[in-house]
Amino acid sequence: MFFKKILLALILGVSLFSISCAGQQDEIDFTLKDLDDNNITLSDYRGKVVFLDFWATWCPPCVMAIPEVEKLYEEYKDNENVVVFGINMAENRNDIDKFLTKNKMNYKVLLGDNKTASKFSIRGIPTFIIIDQDGKIYNKFVGFTPGSLIEWKNSIENILN
């Protein structure tokens, strides 16, 4: 089972693609716990651009993407109009804590679940979703390759401008 997960993650990581969702009518909301057991509700960030990184510790492309998500976070952390969240996909809290001890992740990590993944039609990880100020999905990126950071920033800048 573990090797099937690794193979699936590698296949998804190699095949990056973007799905433009500009103008999507549906607003998607969730409430998830952060690592301090606080409730984080997506709709509380209406008016901001929200970047979501759906990931898992066992997923090699997810792990490869984390430094790039960290760069994105560092670039926008002082911009009150942009928020970055990592959404871990239903892993054991102990595994997440061990992973975070080893890896630099300054952006807020939320504890995801299958219900949230279903709302966003997550079929594989990593998946990155950018939500506009109206709470609508602006762009969705499945997989990770070098150069993803540029695409994410372009989407965020397009929304902000």
Written as six digits, the tokens of 87 are 């959404």
Exposure string over 29-48, b if 16+ CB within 10 A, otherwise e? ebebeeeeeeebebeebeeb
Domain holding 78, by residue range, is 2-160
* Per-residue model confidence as pLDDT tens digits over 62-81: 999 999 999 999 999 999 99
Query: Cβ atoms within 10 A of the Cβ of 65, count?
Result: 26
Model confidence band, residue 25 (pLDDT cutoffs 50, 70, 90): very low
* Per-residue model confidence as pLDDT tens digits over 117-159: 999 999 999 999 999 999 999 999 999 998 999 999 999 999 9
How far apart are the C-alpha atoms of 41 and 31, rounded to whole Å?
4
State the sign of the Cα–Cα–Cα–Cα dihedral 87, 67, 9, 99.
Answer: negative
CA angle 39, 40, 46 (to 5 degrees): 145
Our count of domains for the chain comes to: 1
| CATH for 8 | 3.40.30.10
